[in-house]
Amino acid sequence: MTSRIEHIRVGMRRNGASVKLKLRWDNSPKTCELVSAALPLEEDMWHAKYANHEIYVLLPVVEVFGEDPPGEWQCMYPAPGDLMYLFHPPGLLPKDVYSPDNPRRIVDVAYFYDRGNNLYGPWGANPGNIFATATSIDDMEDFAKACIDVWKNGFLGERMYIEAV
């Protein structure tokens, strides 16, 4: 029997900041299963345009996860420390980021670092699955400072990673 991963780390390669999170098997078992099987993950990092205090990576669903999980512990107003699997319907992403003609499905794995987030954007509601939450307020606040630095100074060249702890 293989033991399941209980904790993960989300971080930024260039500035070295990271935060530890607990996988929420109690509320999002299928999402935790799919993400755990795909670890480690690393990709170019983005900062939210509409949702507010969010950093994220864009990943191809089939190539990375095999399939989308069902809706589990879905949320429209993520709290600080939430890590979410956000489903992207065709046409949601800007054409210069990801062409709507491309048949590959894309998912947004997003970490929310402060209050005031809203997943209702120009295309309507886009709820996602919360599948992990930060374990330490102090670590979450330190990581938020690094995220704010990215928001102020740009994310070009930054890579976000998610790995087992």
pLDDT of residue 1: 43
State if pTM tops 0.85: yes
Please indicate, yes or no, if residue 99 is contained in any of the structural domains. yes
Mean pLDDT of 40-62: 91
Domain that holds residue 114: 7-164
Q: What is the CATH number of the domain that holds 73?
A: 2.40.100.20
Q: Which residue is it, tokens 């930024």? A: 12
CA distance 108 to 87: 7
HSE-CB for 10 with a 13 A CA cutoff: 31
pLDDT of residue 24: 98
Answer whether residue 13 shows pLDDT above 80. yes
Summarised one tens digit per residue, pLDDT across range 64-89 is: 999 999 999 999 999 999 999 998 76
Segment (H or E) for 22: strand 18-23
Q: How confident is the model at residue 140 (pLDDT cuts 50, 70, 90)?
A: very high
Please indicate, yes or no, if residue 1 is contained in any of the structural domains. no
Please indicate, yes or no, if residue 2 is contained in any of the structural domains. no
